[in-house]
Homo-oligomer: A and B are copies of this chain.
Amino acid sequence: MVNYPNKLNRRLISNKTETQVTDFANRGMSFETAINATNDYYLSRGLAVIHKKPTPVQIVKVDYPRRSRAKIVEAYFRHASTTDYSGVYRGYYIDFEAKETRQKNSFPLKNFHQHQIDHMAHVLEQQGICFVLLHFSISQQTFLLPAKSLIAFYTEVKGQKSMPLDYIKKHGYPIEQGAFPQIPYLDIIEKKFVRR
């Protein structure tokens, strides 16, 4: 939960003079941590209920030591069959994946599996709001790209290994990093996705 009014004020004030201060990377935060903090902010303000799903793990062997809790001693990571984040905002189903790259001018498609692309297509068929948050860590730019545009690129340009930054700029929306929340992606959802 984000609940530090003094720190918040300090950051909001410094935000006006030094924009770099609000950059989550400069505050030692990873992109994922910044998204989770954003979701905590939305939850604590009653704005949305959006959670990261647990990492899928295939559990093979569990020990039950006496007087202590069950201990998993053999397990393996599984590929996610859906996206990492989902939840509800004003009655709308929200579903997204967040990825970052150190490349400068394009986003590697190996970040997305066919299963996830299929899942996004299913969500769109059910009228869910679905997108990806793409972060370029060198330039510290973040974009919201609608799933429709990701699916179109992924499907139509089979064999391409990465998606050019120009394509992302053309079909997506830049997200200005803020102090609280760090990655205010709901602003774009509210303006561009929600049916009136």
Given contacts A49-B122, A54-B55, A57-B75, list 15 more A-B pairs with CB under 8 A: A46-B122, A49-B119, A54-B56, A55-B57, A57-B59, A69-B77, A70-B76, A71-B74, A71-B76, A75-B75, A86-B86, A88-B123, A88-B126, A91-B92, A91-B93
Residues of B within 8 A of A75 (CB): 57, 71-72, 75
14 contacting pairs across A/B (C-beta < 8 A)? A43-B122, A46-B122, A49-B119, A54-B78, A57-B57, A69-B77, A71-B74, A71-B75, A71-B76, A72-B72, A72-B74, A88-B95, A91-B92, A93-B93
Q: CB distance A128 to B51 under 8 Å?
A: no
A127: Cβ under 8 A from any B Cβ: yes
Q: CB distance A57 to B72 under 8 Å?
A: yes
Q: CB distance A92 to B89 under 8 Å?
A: no
A34 to chain B, nearest CB (A): 20
A48: Cβ under 8 A from any B Cβ: yes
A146 to chain B, nearest CB (A): 16
Whole-angstrom CA separation of A119 from B50 in the bound complex: 10
A156: Cβ under 8 A from any B Cβ: no
A129 to chain B, nearest CB (A): 9
Chain multiplicity (copies): 2
Q: Which residue of B lies closest to A70 (CB)?
A: B77
Residues of B within 8 A of A125 (CB): 46, 49
Contact of A127 among B56, B90, B122 (CB under 8 A): B90
Whole-angstrom CA separation of A57 from B128 in the bound complex: 28
A82: Cβ under 8 A from any B Cβ: yes
A73: Cβ under 8 A from any B Cβ: yes
A32 to chain B, nearest CB (A): 15
Residues of B within 8 A of A123 (CB): 49, 88
Q: CB distance A126 to B91 under 8 Å?
A: yes
A193 to chain B, nearest CB (A): 12
